[in-house]
Homo-oligomer: A and B are copies of this chain.
Amino acid sequence: MSGIHERHTGAAATIRKRPGRPRDPIAEQRILDAAINEFLERGAARFTMDGVARRAGVGKSTLYLRWADRDALLVESVRARSRSIEAVDTGSLRGDLIQLTTNLLRFLLEPVGYATFRITVDAVANPAYENVAKELAQRHRHAARRVFERARERGDAIDEAAVDPVVECLYGAVTMQVLNRGLGRPFASDSDLATRCTSTVDLVMRLLEP
């Protein structure tokens, strides 16, 4: 069972295996949540296994049974929480792009999403976070690529040269929204957030016309 799970997470390299010791999924989730909160509160430099253990109410040894070190734990916490953004398939390019940017903006304005973002920014200067930052970037790139592939399959006419720059502008605009708002100034409602994304998508989609 452990072997099957391993093949599916793709994160085997960061997990220290102890065969025969069954996992407790609830404790695991609590630890991953605690890791995100610890990171947000104390920053990368003061993020410790001790702090996470205290916060999650488990012994430090429990952590070391599963994660080799603090970076492995932090990276898996981020990885575990940033999956659903790219599950997008509305039937139209416009719909998919609106959904994708809305998911991303909503996520980045939540504490866990902001932690993800900060790890990506830290990775610019800190090699310990380089792999997870690359993995997240790849996941986003893959999601965007799928959206455009489906549009082509449906026969949409698209200026191919504009695709990458448009995706860069969309993700960039979302990032600017996060930086300008901060965690303290959320959107009044989820539909306000969606409206904001819709107007950005409608604007930059003009660049995709051949």
A residues near B (Cβ < 8 Å) are 40, 42-46, 114, 117-118, 120-125, 130, 133, 137, 162, 165, 168-169, 171-180, 182-183, 199-200, 203-204, 206-207
Contact = CB atoms under 8 A, between A and B. Distances in A.
Contacts of A45: 42-46
Nearest to A136: B179
Contacts of A199: 165
Q: Assembly of this chain: how many copies?
A: 2
A37 B178 CA distance: 26
Contacts of A180: 137
Contact of A203 (B165, B172, B175): B165
Q: Which of A40, A118, A175 has the most CB of B within 10 A?
A: A175
A42 B162 CA distance: 39
B179 A120 contact: yes
Given A43-B43, A165-B200, A114 B125 contact: yes
